[in-house]
């Protein structure tokens, strides 16, 4: 199974600006998102669930902006 951090990293690299958008949704710093994606910071399953919801919100916002 792919690590959660690696999955986040790949998602962030798919589209420019996702790190900043995700940080805004989670009310945290862009640096924290970067640390998680580079596997410098551990990630609990509870936090991962929160991040996944925020990722879905960011994707929804992206689709809304493209329409």
Vertex 29: Cα angle to 38 and 60 (nearest 5) = 85
Residue predicted with more confidence, 66 or 11: 11
Query: Which class would CATH give 4-66?
Result: mainly alpha
Identify which of 10, 14, 32 has the alpha carbon closest to the alpha carbon of residue 23: 32
Q: What is the pTM of this model?
A: 0.85
pLDDT of residue 47 exceeding 60, the answer is yes
Q: Which residues in 1-67 belong to E strands, given as ranges?
A: none
Quick one: 37 exposed, middle or buried, by C-beta within 10 A (0-12, 13-18, 19+)? Answer: buried
| Model confidence pLDDT, tens digit, residues 6-41 | 899 999 999 999 999 999 999 999 999 999 898 877
CB contact at 8 A, 1 and 41: no
């Amino acid at each position: 199974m792919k690590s959660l951090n690696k999955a986040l990293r790949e998602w962030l690299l798919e589209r420019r600006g996702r790190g900043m958008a995700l940080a805004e949704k989670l009310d945290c710093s862009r640096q924290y998102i970067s640390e998680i994606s580079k596997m410098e910071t551990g990630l609990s399953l509870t936090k991962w669930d929160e991040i996944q919801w925020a990722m879905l919100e960011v994707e929804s916002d992206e689709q809304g902006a493209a329409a």
